[in-house]
Amino acid sequence: MATLSVPPVLSSPRDDAMQLFRAFKGLGTDTSAVINILAHRDAAQRSLIQHEYRTLYSEDLFKRLSSELTGNLETAVLFWMHDLPGRDAIMVRQALMMNTMNLEAATEVICSRTPSQIQVFKQHYHAKFGIHVERDIESCASGDHKKLLLAYASIPRYEGREVDREMVVKDAKALYKAGEKKWGTDEKTFIHIFSERSAAHLAAVDSAYHDMYGNSLKKVIKKETSGHFEHALKTILLCSENPANYFAKVLHKAMKGMGTNDTALIRVIVTRTEIDMHYIKAEYLKKYKKTLNDAVHTETSGHYRAFLLALLGPNH
Protein backbone atom coordinates (compact mmCIF):
# COMPACT_ATOMS: atom_id res chain seq x y z
CA MET A 1 0.00 0.00 0.00
CA ALA A 2 1.32 3.41 -1.05
CA THR A 3 1.86 6.40 1.24
CA LEU A 4 1.59 8.98 -1.56
CA SER A 5 -1.14 11.49 -0.69
CA VAL A 6 -2.75 13.23 -3.65
CA PRO A 7 -5.10 16.18 -2.90
CA PRO A 8 -8.83 15.33 -3.25
CA VAL A 9 -9.29 18.37 -5.49
CA LEU A 10 -6.42 18.37 -7.93
CA SER A 11 -5.24 21.29 -10.05
CA SER A 12 -4.69 20.51 -13.73
CA PRO A 13 -1.22 19.49 -14.98
CA ARG A 14 -1.16 22.80 -16.87
CA ASP A 15 -1.81 24.77 -13.66
CA ASP A 16 0.86 22.73 -11.86
CA ALA A 17 3.36 23.50 -14.64
CA MET A 18 2.56 27.22 -14.39
CA GLN A 19 2.94 27.16 -10.59
CA LEU A 20 6.31 25.44 -10.93
CA PHE A 21 7.45 28.07 -13.44
CA ARG A 22 6.44 30.81 -10.99
CA ALA A 23 8.34 29.01 -8.21
CA PHE A 24 11.51 29.08 -10.37
CA LYS A 25 11.20 32.73 -11.39
CA GLY A 26 13.13 35.59 -9.82
CA LEU A 27 15.90 35.41 -7.28
CA GLY A 28 16.00 32.04 -5.57
CA THR A 29 13.53 29.20 -5.89
CA ASP A 30 10.35 28.74 -3.90
CA THR A 31 11.42 25.20 -2.99
CA SER A 32 8.47 24.63 -0.64
CA ALA A 33 6.07 25.27 -3.55
CA VAL A 34 7.98 22.79 -5.73
CA ILE A 35 7.81 20.12 -3.01
CA ASN A 36 4.16 20.83 -2.30
CA ILE A 37 3.25 20.10 -5.92
CA LEU A 38 5.58 17.27 -6.92
CA ALA A 39 5.53 15.24 -3.68
CA HIS A 40 1.73 14.96 -3.99
CA ARG A 41 1.34 13.81 -7.60
CA ASP A 42 1.42 10.21 -8.84
CA ALA A 43 3.58 8.96 -11.71
CA ALA A 44 0.94 9.60 -14.40
CA GLN A 45 0.32 13.14 -13.11
CA ARG A 46 4.06 13.90 -12.94
CA SER A 47 4.41 12.78 -16.54
CA LEU A 48 1.57 15.07 -17.64
CA ILE A 49 3.12 18.01 -15.75
CA GLN A 50 6.40 17.45 -17.60
CA HIS A 51 4.56 17.40 -20.93
CA GLU A 52 2.64 20.61 -20.13
CA TYR A 53 5.80 22.36 -18.90
CA ARG A 54 7.59 21.60 -22.15
CA THR A 55 4.57 22.74 -24.20
CA LEU A 56 4.21 26.01 -22.29
CA TYR A 57 7.85 27.01 -21.86
CA SER A 58 9.79 24.99 -24.51
CA GLU A 59 11.98 23.76 -21.68
CA ASP A 60 12.69 20.38 -20.11
CA LEU A 61 11.37 20.30 -16.53
CA PHE A 62 14.13 17.83 -15.53
CA LYS A 63 16.82 20.29 -16.63
CA ARG A 64 15.09 23.15 -14.86
CA LEU A 65 14.74 21.19 -11.62
CA SER A 66 18.39 20.18 -11.88
CA SER A 67 19.47 23.81 -12.19
CA GLU A 68 17.17 25.05 -9.39
CA LEU A 69 17.76 22.33 -6.76
CA THR A 70 20.97 21.03 -5.20
CA GLY A 71 22.41 18.14 -3.20
CA ASN A 72 20.28 15.30 -1.85
CA LEU A 73 17.04 17.16 -2.56
CA GLU A 74 17.94 17.42 -6.25
CA THR A 75 18.82 13.69 -6.38
CA ALA A 76 15.58 12.67 -4.65
CA VAL A 77 13.29 14.91 -6.72
CA LEU A 78 14.88 13.95 -10.06
CA PHE A 79 14.51 10.23 -9.26
CA TRP A 80 10.92 10.84 -8.14
CA MET A 81 10.01 12.46 -11.46
CA HIS A 82 10.44 9.14 -13.30
CA ASP A 83 7.94 6.31 -13.36
CA LEU A 84 8.90 3.07 -11.58
CA PRO A 85 10.57 1.12 -14.44
CA GLY A 86 12.33 4.21 -15.81
CA ARG A 87 13.66 5.00 -12.34
CA ASP A 88 14.84 1.41 -11.77
CA ALA A 89 16.64 1.49 -15.13
CA ILE A 90 18.45 4.74 -14.24
CA MET A 91 19.36 3.55 -10.72
CA VAL A 92 20.78 0.25 -12.00
CA ARG A 93 22.64 1.98 -14.85
CA GLN A 94 24.25 4.45 -12.41
CA ALA A 95 25.12 1.60 -10.04
CA LEU A 96 26.82 -0.29 -12.89
CA MET A 97 28.86 2.63 -14.25
CA MET A 98 32.58 2.56 -13.51
CA ASN A 99 32.68 6.06 -11.95
CA THR A 100 29.57 5.59 -9.77
CA MET A 101 29.70 1.82 -9.22
CA ASN A 102 27.52 0.58 -6.38
CA LEU A 103 27.01 -3.19 -6.70
CA GLU A 104 25.02 -3.27 -3.47
CA ALA A 105 22.44 -0.86 -4.97
CA ALA A 106 22.29 -2.72 -8.31
CA THR A 107 21.82 -6.02 -6.44
CA GLU A 108 19.07 -4.59 -4.24
CA VAL A 109 17.06 -3.20 -7.16
CA ILE A 110 17.37 -6.29 -9.37
CA CYS A 111 16.87 -8.92 -6.65
CA SER A 112 13.93 -7.20 -4.90
CA ARG A 113 11.77 -6.79 -8.02
CA THR A 114 9.13 -9.17 -9.35
CA PRO A 115 9.79 -10.94 -12.67
CA SER A 116 7.31 -8.69 -14.50
CA GLN A 117 8.89 -5.54 -13.00
CA ILE A 118 12.31 -6.77 -14.13
CA GLN A 119 11.10 -7.40 -17.69
CA VAL A 120 9.64 -3.88 -17.99
CA PHE A 121 12.66 -2.13 -16.48
CA LYS A 122 14.95 -4.11 -18.82
CA GLN A 123 12.99 -2.75 -21.80
CA HIS A 124 13.36 0.80 -20.42
CA TYR A 125 17.06 0.17 -19.83
CA HIS A 126 17.67 -0.82 -23.45
CA ALA A 127 15.51 2.02 -24.81
CA LYS A 128 17.27 4.65 -22.64
CA PHE A 129 20.87 3.48 -22.87
CA GLY A 130 21.06 1.42 -26.07
CA ILE A 131 22.56 -1.53 -24.22
CA HIS A 132 21.07 -4.58 -22.50
CA VAL A 133 21.38 -4.60 -18.71
CA GLU A 134 22.97 -8.07 -18.94
CA ARG A 135 25.92 -6.55 -20.82
CA ASP A 136 26.53 -4.07 -17.99
CA ILE A 137 26.20 -6.82 -15.38
CA GLU A 138 28.75 -8.88 -17.35
CA SER A 139 31.29 -6.08 -17.28
CA CYS A 140 30.80 -4.96 -13.64
CA ALA A 141 29.95 -8.01 -11.53
CA SER A 142 32.05 -11.14 -11.12
CA GLY A 143 32.00 -14.77 -10.04
CA ASP A 144 28.88 -16.33 -8.50
CA HIS A 145 27.36 -12.89 -7.90
CA LYS A 146 27.46 -12.20 -11.65
CA LYS A 147 26.02 -15.64 -12.48
CA LEU A 148 23.13 -15.13 -10.03
CA LEU A 149 22.30 -11.59 -11.25
CA LEU A 150 22.35 -12.68 -14.90
CA ALA A 151 20.10 -15.67 -14.17
CA TYR A 152 17.73 -13.67 -11.94
CA ALA A 153 17.38 -10.88 -14.51
CA SER A 154 16.66 -13.19 -17.43
CA ILE A 155 14.74 -16.27 -16.23
CA PRO A 156 10.92 -15.87 -16.15
CA ARG A 157 9.39 -17.00 -12.85
CA TYR A 158 5.84 -17.79 -11.80
CA GLU A 159 4.29 -14.95 -9.76
CA GLY A 160 1.32 -16.77 -8.20
CA ARG A 161 1.02 -18.08 -4.64
CA GLU A 162 0.52 -21.81 -5.38
CA VAL A 163 3.45 -24.13 -4.62
CA ASP A 164 4.28 -27.77 -5.34
CA ARG A 165 4.97 -29.33 -1.93
CA GLU A 166 7.00 -32.20 -3.38
CA MET A 167 9.25 -29.77 -5.24
CA VAL A 168 9.60 -27.65 -2.08
CA VAL A 169 10.93 -30.62 -0.07
CA LYS A 170 13.19 -31.64 -2.97
CA ASP A 171 14.70 -28.12 -3.12
CA ALA A 172 15.18 -27.99 0.67
CA LYS A 173 17.10 -31.29 0.49
CA ALA A 174 19.16 -30.05 -2.49
CA LEU A 175 20.14 -26.86 -0.62
CA TYR A 176 21.10 -28.90 2.46
CA LYS A 177 23.33 -31.14 0.32
CA ALA A 178 24.81 -28.10 -1.43
CA GLY A 179 25.56 -26.23 1.80
CA GLU A 180 25.48 -27.46 5.39
CA LYS A 181 26.00 -31.16 4.58
CA LYS A 182 28.94 -30.50 2.27
CA TRP A 183 32.57 -29.53 2.84
CA GLY A 184 32.60 -26.26 0.92
CA THR A 185 29.54 -24.98 -0.93
CA ASP A 186 27.91 -25.98 -4.21
CA GLU A 187 27.05 -22.43 -5.35
CA LYS A 188 25.56 -23.68 -8.62
CA THR A 189 22.63 -25.30 -6.75
CA PHE A 190 21.93 -22.09 -4.81
CA ILE A 191 21.99 -20.07 -8.06
CA HIS A 192 19.71 -22.56 -9.82
CA ILE A 193 17.04 -22.64 -7.07
CA PHE A 194 17.15 -18.94 -6.16
CA SER A 195 16.95 -17.74 -9.77
CA GLU A 196 14.32 -20.17 -11.09
CA ARG A 197 11.77 -20.57 -8.30
CA SER A 198 8.82 -18.28 -7.52
CA ALA A 199 8.79 -16.07 -4.41
CA ALA A 200 6.04 -18.21 -2.82
CA HIS A 201 8.04 -21.37 -3.55
CA LEU A 202 11.24 -19.97 -1.99
CA ALA A 203 9.37 -18.86 1.14
CA ALA A 204 7.94 -22.39 1.41
CA VAL A 205 11.44 -23.89 0.93
CA ASP A 206 12.76 -21.73 3.78
CA SER A 207 9.96 -22.95 6.07
CA ALA A 208 10.48 -26.59 5.03
CA TYR A 209 14.25 -26.29 5.50
CA HIS A 210 13.74 -25.03 9.03
CA ASP A 211 11.34 -27.90 9.82
CA MET A 212 13.69 -30.51 8.33
CA TYR A 213 17.10 -29.25 9.51
CA GLY A 214 16.37 -26.80 12.35
CA ASN A 215 18.03 -23.86 10.63
CA SER A 216 16.85 -20.91 8.55
CA LEU A 217 18.09 -20.44 4.99
CA LYS A 218 19.17 -16.92 5.96
CA LYS A 219 21.63 -18.38 8.49
CA VAL A 220 22.80 -20.97 5.96
CA ILE A 221 23.45 -18.24 3.36
CA LYS A 222 25.39 -16.22 5.94
CA LYS A 223 27.52 -19.24 6.86
CA GLU A 224 28.08 -20.64 3.37
CA THR A 225 28.50 -17.50 1.22
CA SER A 226 29.93 -13.99 1.43
CA GLY A 227 30.11 -10.54 -0.18
CA HIS A 228 27.79 -9.47 -3.00
CA PHE A 229 26.73 -13.07 -3.66
CA GLU A 230 25.51 -13.39 -0.05
CA HIS A 231 23.71 -10.04 -0.34
CA ALA A 232 21.94 -11.12 -3.56
CA LEU A 233 20.78 -14.47 -2.11
CA LYS A 234 19.56 -12.79 1.10
CA THR A 235 17.70 -10.10 -0.85
CA ILE A 236 15.91 -12.69 -3.01
CA LEU A 237 15.03 -14.79 0.04
CA LEU A 238 13.85 -11.95 2.29
CA CYS A 239 11.82 -10.31 -0.50
CA SER A 240 10.15 -13.65 -1.23
CA GLU A 241 8.87 -13.72 2.35
CA ASN A 242 8.27 -10.11 3.38
CA PRO A 243 9.55 -7.27 1.15
CA ALA A 244 8.38 -4.62 3.64
CA ASN A 245 10.50 -6.15 6.38
CA TYR A 246 13.50 -6.28 4.03
CA PHE A 247 13.21 -2.59 3.12
CA ALA A 248 12.67 -1.58 6.76
CA LYS A 249 16.06 -3.20 7.49
CA VAL A 250 17.71 -1.40 4.56
CA LEU A 251 16.37 1.93 5.82
CA HIS A 252 17.49 1.27 9.38
CA LYS A 253 20.98 0.34 8.19
CA ALA A 254 21.10 3.54 6.09
CA MET A 255 20.44 5.66 9.19
CA LYS A 256 22.34 3.63 11.80
CA GLY A 257 25.51 4.92 13.46
CA MET A 258 27.50 7.97 12.44
CA GLY A 259 26.31 9.68 9.27
CA THR A 260 23.52 8.70 6.91
CA ASN A 261 23.67 6.68 3.71
CA ASP A 262 21.53 9.14 1.74
CA THR A 263 21.89 7.13 -1.47
CA ALA A 264 20.13 4.14 0.14
CA LEU A 265 17.64 6.33 2.00
CA ILE A 266 16.57 8.12 -1.19
CA ARG A 267 16.55 4.92 -3.24
CA VAL A 268 14.18 3.07 -0.92
CA ILE A 269 11.81 5.92 -0.06
CA VAL A 270 11.47 7.15 -3.63
CA THR A 271 11.03 3.67 -5.16
CA ARG A 272 8.60 2.26 -2.56
CA THR A 273 6.35 5.29 -1.87
CA GLU A 274 3.92 4.30 -4.65
CA ILE A 275 4.12 0.56 -3.89
CA ASP A 276 4.30 -0.63 -0.26
CA MET A 277 5.69 2.16 1.95
CA HIS A 278 2.68 1.89 4.27
CA TYR A 279 3.74 -1.69 5.12
CA ILE A 280 7.42 -0.73 5.37
CA LYS A 281 6.52 1.95 7.94
CA ALA A 282 4.54 -0.61 9.96
CA GLU A 283 7.44 -3.09 9.86
CA TYR A 284 9.91 -0.36 10.84
CA LEU A 285 7.84 0.63 13.88
CA LYS A 286 7.38 -3.01 14.94
CA LYS A 287 11.07 -3.80 14.56
CA TYR A 288 12.75 -0.63 15.88
CA LYS A 289 10.09 0.83 18.24
CA LYS A 290 10.32 4.17 16.45
CA THR A 291 8.37 5.57 13.51
CA LEU A 292 10.18 5.79 10.18
CA ASN A 293 9.12 9.45 9.95
CA ASP A 294 10.85 10.22 13.26
CA ALA A 295 14.02 8.43 12.16
CA VAL A 296 14.10 10.34 8.84
CA HIS A 297 13.37 13.61 10.66
CA THR A 298 16.37 13.04 12.94
CA GLU A 299 18.77 12.08 10.13
CA THR A 300 17.89 14.75 7.53
CA SER A 301 17.29 18.49 7.40
CA GLY A 302 15.83 21.39 5.44
CA HIS A 303 13.90 20.95 2.20
CA TYR A 304 15.40 17.49 1.69
CA ARG A 305 13.79 16.38 4.97
CA ALA A 306 10.50 18.05 4.00
CA PHE A 307 10.41 16.23 0.66
CA LEU A 308 11.09 12.75 2.10
CA LEU A 309 8.55 13.28 4.90
CA ALA A 310 5.96 14.41 2.34
CA LEU A 311 6.45 11.12 0.48
CA LEU A 312 6.22 9.12 3.73
CA GLY A 313 2.84 10.63 4.63
CA PRO A 314 1.41 11.03 8.15
CA ASN A 315 3.57 10.09 11.14
CA HIS A 316 1.83 7.10 12.72
Q: What share of the chain in percent tops pLDDT 70?
A: 100
Establish if 5 belongs to a structural domain.
no
Q: Please give the single-letter amino acid code of residue 201.
A: H
CA-closest candidate to residue 58, choices 17, 87, 94? 17
Same domain, 217 and 267: no
In a domain, 77, yes or no: no
How many CA within 13 A on the CB side of residue 49? 27
pTM for this one? 0.95
The domain in which residue 118 lies consists of 85-154
At residue 279, the 3 state secondary structure works out as helix
Domain count, the chain: 4
Distance CA 291, CA 12 (A): 34
Residue 281 domain flag: yes
From 207, 240, 273, give the residue that closes a domain.
240
Residue 135 is assigned to a structural domain of this protein: yes
- Give yes or no for a contact between 293 and 23, defined as CB atoms under 8 angstroms apart: no
- Check whether residue 17 and residue 53 sit in a common domain: yes
**Residue 152's closest CA among 115, 120, 116?**
115
- CATH number reported for the structural domain that contains residue 190 in this entry: 1.10.220.10
User: pLDDT digits over 145-158, tens only?
Assistant: 999 999 999 999 99
170, 229: one domain:
yes
In angstroms, rounded to a whole number, what is the distance separating the alpha carbons of residues 310 and 48?
A: 20
Specify the pLDDT at position 98: 83
Mean pLDDT of the chain: 96
Claim to verify: residue 50 and residue 25 sit in the same structural domain: yes
Query: What gap in Å lies between CA 293 and CA 299, rounded to an integer?
Result: 10
Residues 147 and 172 in one domain: no
Q: 59 lies in a domain?
A: yes
Q: Are the beta carbons of 243 and 278 closer than 8 angstroms?
A: no
Looking at the structure, tell me whether residues 288 and 248 fall in a common domain: yes
- Is position 198 within any domain? yes
Same domain, 110 and 134: yes
The rounded radius of gyration (Å) of the Cα atoms in the chain is 21
For the stretch 259-283, pLDDT in tens is 899 999 999 999 999 999 999 999 9
Contacts of 45 (CB under 8 A, 6+ apart): 6, 10, 13, 16
Of 316, 256, 296, 232, which Cα lies nearest the Cα of 76?
296
Tell me the pLDDT of the chain (316 aa) as tens digits.
Answer: 899 999 999 999 999 999 999 999 978 899 999 999 999 999 999 999 999 999 999 999 999 999 999 999 999 999 999 999 999 999 999 999 988 899 999 999 999 999 999 999 999 999 999 999 999 999 999 999 999 999 999 999 999 999 999 999 999 999 999 999 888 899 999 999 999 999 999 999 999 999 999 999 999 999 999 999 999 999 999 999 999 999 999 999 999 988 899 999 999 999 999 999 999 999 999 999 999 999 999 999 999 999 999 999 999 7
Domain boundary among 210, 240, 270: 240
* 159 located within any domain: no
